[in-house]
Each structure stands twice: as structure tokens, then as C-alpha cells.
A and B are shown apart, each in its own frame.
Chain A
């Protein structure tokens, strides 16, 4: 045991216990450069636990009494625990081998094989970690001592000598780098980093473009045919003739354009004569009213719920309710799709319809109000 402070970096406190290995291992030759900035100072002690002050004055470590017992109290119990832990670890090893085996055996050639493969891989890997964890926990609980240890809290501030050394080293480094002496280097370096710093602000543009009036209209336009969604065939009122009928419709040419369909999807409903009560005064637009937006008791409503935009298409032909499955907003299809229950506040917009020269259902215009949920710029206009 040597306590010679030879070769210790400047500022190293001389007192304190010095372990043998450390003193010799970290000994630096005379004249060595100062410690490199950013590296931790050489540890004064490898001891995790707080030392008692006694016995350190002369640099000798205290011969302290053992805090952790070497052996568990009940050796028989420890033996049993040892076997259990070892068994857990062995099983974990086997499960790990099984994982590799499962990877080799279950080659996912078909959907069913993929299911088997996933199940086998997941089970074996899960078991491996579970058994490892369980073994470790049992080890800690039954073999390791249960002792409360206290580590003293020390001030975070470095001591004066360290702080002075840091300032000195820093200034030396700054001088040596010529950063202060050569302003052109300094300024061009700063100039080079400015665009990089500004770049994230510029990238915010990708959040746009602003929607502008995009939310106010859909792809529906006068004369655009309604297609029976799925089969994608145009519809004649004479074919869609059974009262109580309801189908999803999409604008012709946009049946695969999901961005367009997100706003333009509709349902059409066929009523028996006299079933639907129209309220012409509620939507007077350009001289024609809700009443002549329908064709032969067929009504077309937006499929997009006015609450938060879920597809509201659960139509009950007995009650004429259109239910939205997300938050149970319920609309009365026989009365202009007014809200009769739930969080929606506006009726489903109605698409004005007519028939074209060949007798197929077509849109008379776009929706006369924005479809779907409310938004700031929507206002109260209809």
C-alpha cells in the first residue's frame, strides 16, 4: 500500500483513501499534459459506500466491519432457492434455443404459417425473458441480503482547485485554437451554422399548405353520376326502387380516389311516397329547395358525420335513423337528416340530385354547405 501522491494531476486532493490498484494504475509520468477537458477526474475512491471518517487522516483506509453478511441465514433455504434459480436460468436457455429452432422450423410461406411462426417466436422469446427475470428476482429475494445502505449526499460544486484548472485549461485551449486571434475563422464558422439552425423553422412549411377553401367543397359537380359503391355502376331511379333501400354512392371517376371520397362519400335512401317530410324553408339555395333535390323519393345525404367525420351509414329503414357508430349521433333521414341524438350539432348535408338524359342519377350541384365536422373558418353559413 503506497500513499505517494507522485504524478497526481494538479488539484487532486491529497487526503482520502487511495486504493492500491488505482494509485499505481493511474500514475502519470512527470510533465504529462493536463487532464483532457470532458474526461472525468481520477476517482478518489472506488468505494461506493460512504467511508467513516476515522482512519483516513493518515491516508490509510479504515479497516471497517462488514456491512453485508457473506452467507444467508438459512443455508437449507438458500440451497433450495439456488436450485430454483438455476432451473429458471436453464429453462430460459432452453426457451432461447427453442426461439432459434422455431425461427428455423416455421418458415412463413402462408398466412397460417405466419400465425404459427409468430406464436412460436413470441412464446419462446417471452418465456426466455420471463424466466430470466423470475430467476433474477428469486435470486435477489432469497439469496441476497436485505440491508438498507445509505450513501451520503455531497455538494455538486467542484472544489476550487478543479474549477481553476478548468478555466486555465479552457483558456489555453482557446488560445491554442486561434479562435480568438483569427476573427475570419470565427465568423465564417458562425455563418456556416446559421442556416442549419434556421432549417427546422423552414421545414415547418411541410405542415401546410393551408387548406384555404378546400374544406368548403367536394368533387361533386353538376351532372356527375352517382355510382353504386363496390360494384361502381350508375343507378337509375327505377332500379333503386324498393322503399327501405339504402346504398353507399360515390362520384363517378373518383371511386378509387380516397382523398376525394373522404369528403364526397354519400348514401342514398329510397322512401315510400309520403314517408319523408321535407322542410323546403330550411335549405333555400339558388331558387330550388330541398324538395326538388330529390328524385322519385330518393334522397342523398353526405356519409360524413358532422360531429368528427366518421362514416355515418347505419341506416334503419323502420325508424329512418342514420346512426354514426363512433359517438352515436343519430340523424332522422325522413326529416332532412336533422340531429335527434348525440353530439353532432348540424344535419347531414344533402346532395341535390336529378337525372341525366340517360335516366341515371346525377348531382345537381356540389353540396351547398361544407360537409363533415365544424372548423374555425366554417362560420355559421349553410
Chain B
């Protein structure tokens, strides 16, 4: 024991052991590093094969055997689109697309979250790409909805309307309303630019700014509707039209009532 303690490498061994203990202890206490580091490692291959299976069942017919895409459908290549794009498209029900129109519409989701994540992991394995954001990345806690509004007005409102009601684009395409989007989906849409939407990468709109934008979108949904009706929340044009037509109708009927024939007098 004494001889080993005097071994030239003993000092290094002690330091190494200490570092290991500290590292493992920290990981156990926090529970973050351990879980994320080990959990995918255990299931990664199973998840990939499940994802591959789901891809063959749901996506292969259009996107090709290995997601290389098919211009004649047209279906884009999925190599490099990343897990975030898959999660957005499938979790909003846009993919698998039922029929090819100008825009794939939001519809009920056909896969559960676990399956979507497996599929996303498989697509990511084809060529990397943006990751699905964590819950902390899309949390509205501490986000600045006021600053989010400035950013939203500068870069989002032109298509999605100032409170996320959506609007028309060219040739039948449209910017969808953001009323049903989850914070994760909004984050993924900015990151990946689904359909006609431009890409807002993390160096153009930082993750913190994305959280601010999400906070604005979510908070705006709670705003009261003056007069009691939202009228689609697309602004003063509809409100003016409804007021004009409604009041016009009311005044026409009033005029008809006031001037209608009334009682006859005996001497007529």
C-alpha cells in the first residue's frame, strides 16, 4: 500500500479518481447531463429503426426510399431538413399530406409524439439539421412579449397579420393563423421555414428573440375582443364592413317602417 502510494503515477490516479467522482456526483445531483447523455444512447438504435419503419409506412411513397425527394410529385429532399422540420410538419398534421394543393393544411395528427420523435430522429440521421427545441427554449417565463411584438411587427406581421390571424399569399398559398400553434411549433417554423415561409435562423433571430416572439403570439390570444366578437381579428376592415352593412340594413328597415302606410282617417 505504502509502495503503491509512492508510485510515480499515484498522484495522477488520485486526481483522476477525484475528478470522476465529482463529475458523476454532479451529474447524479443535477440529473440533467446523465439523462440526456444516456437515454438516447440506450434507445437510439431502436428509435432509429422504429423511425425508419414509420418513414417506410408514411413518407417513402413520395419522398423516396431514403428521403432523397422526388421532383415529379413534387416532394422535397428530406436530407438535412432536421428533426425540427419533421416535428413541425407531422405534429401539425401537414405531413403526411393527403393531396397536393397550393398549401398543405393543418389537420388531425396521425402519429403520436413518440412516433414523431422516432421519425424525426431517423430523418435527422440522414443529414443532420435543426433540432427539436427543448421545453426551456420555448418557455415564456422571463420572455419579453413587448420586444417580441416589435420583432413580430418587423418580420412576421406582413403575412401572419399583427395578431397572428394569418392571411393570403400568391396562387392559393396562405400564411396560416397562429391561433392553434404550440410554442414548439412556432419555434420550429421560424427555424426551418416550412412551405413558403422564410427561414429565420438562430443567428438572425436569436433563440431569446424567438422566445419573445412566441410570448407575444401566445399573449395576444388572451387579449379581449372589443364589442364581443373577434370577426377573425383581421383588423378594422372587417369591423368597418360589418358595422356598415349591419347599420345600413337597420336604417333601411327603420325607414321602411316609419314611412309604411298607416291608419286611414274616416274622412278619406
Residues of A within 8 A of B (CB): 69, 72-74, 77, 111-112, 115, 118-119, 133, 137, 140-142, 145-147, 228-231, 235, 238-248, 269-270, 311, 313-319, 321, 323, 325, 328, 330, 341
Closest residue to A118 on the B side, CB-wise?
B226
B262 touches A (CB below 8 Å): yes
Closest residue to B149 on the A side, CB-wise?
A230
11 of the cross-chain contacts (CB-CB < 8 Å) are A72-B263, A137-B257, A137-B258, A230-B153, A235-B204, A247-B155, A314-B167, A316-B173, A317-B198, A318-B196, A323-B169
A248 touches B154 (CB 8 A): yes
What residues of chain B lie closer than 8 Å to A229, measured between beta carbons?
154-155
B170 touches A321 (CB 8 A): yes
A147 touches B265 (CB 8 A): yes
B65 touches A (CB below 8 Å): no
Q: Which has the most chain A C-beta neighbours within 10 Å: B153, B267, B268? A: B267
Closest residue to A311 on the B side, CB-wise?
B158
Closest residue to B226 on the A side, CB-wise?
A115
Q: Which has the most chain A C-beta neighbours within 10 Å: B150, B159, B170, B206? A: B170
B209 touches A (CB below 8 Å): yes
Specify the main secondary structure of chain B where it touches its partner: loop
A319 touches B265 (CB 8 A): no
Q: In the bound complex, how far is the Cα of B84 from the Cα of A93, in angstroms?
A: 63
- What is the distance, in angstroms, from B104's C-beta to the closest C-beta of chain A? 12
B167 touches A325 (CB 8 A): yes
Q: Write out, one digit per residue, whether chain B residues 221-232 have a CB within 8 A of any chain A CB (1) or not (0).
A: 000101110000
A245 touches B170 (CB 8 A): no
Of the candidates B150, B170, B267, the one whose C-beta lies within 8 Å of that of A69 is B267
B199 touches A317 (CB 8 A): yes
Q: In the bound complex, how far is the Cα of B155 from the Cα of A243, in angstroms?
A: 16
- What is the distance, in angstroms, from B127's C-beta to the closest C-beta of chain A? 15
Closest residue to B153 on the A side, CB-wise?
A230
Q: In the bound complex, how far is the Cα of B63 from the Cα of A282, in angstroms?
A: 39
Q: In the bound complex, how far is the Cα of B171 from the Cα of A319, in angstroms?
A: 10
Identify 8 new A-B residue pairs, CB closer than 8 A, beyond the known A137-B258, A146-B262, A317-B198: A73-B263, A240-B201, A245-B204, A247-B204, A247-B205, A317-B193, A321-B169, A323-B169
Q: In the bound complex, how far is the Cα of B82 from the Cα of A103, in angstroms?
A: 58
What residues of chain A lie closer than 8 Å to B4, measured between beta carbons?
none
Of the candidates A140, A238, A245, A314, the one whose C-beta lies within 8 Å of that of B200 is A245
Q: In the bound complex, how far is the Cα of B257 from the Cα of A144, in angstroms?
A: 16
Of the candidates A69, A111, A142, A244, the one whose C-beta lies within 8 Å of that of B262 is A142
Q: Which has the most chain B C-beta neighbours within 10 Å: A74, A77, A137? A: A137
What residues of chain B lie closer than 8 Å to A118, measured between beta carbons?
226
Given A229-B155, A247-B204, A341-B170, the answer on whether A147 and B268 have CB atoms closer than 8 Å is yes
What residues of chain B lie closer than 8 Å to A112, measured between beta carbons?
224
- What is the distance, in angstroms, from A379's C-beta to the closest C-beta of chain B? 31
A241 touches B201 (CB 8 A): yes
- What is the distance, in angstroms, from B225's C-beta to the closest C-beta of chain A? 9
Q: In the bound complex, how far is the Cα of B171 from the Cα of A243, in angstroms?
A: 22
What residues of chain B lie closer than 8 Å to A231, measured between beta carbons?
151, 205-206, 209
B44 touches A (CB below 8 Å): no
A69 touches B200 (CB 8 A): no
What residues of chain A lie closer than 8 Å to B209, measured between beta carbons?
231
A319 touches B257 (CB 8 A): no
B158 touches A230 (CB 8 A): no
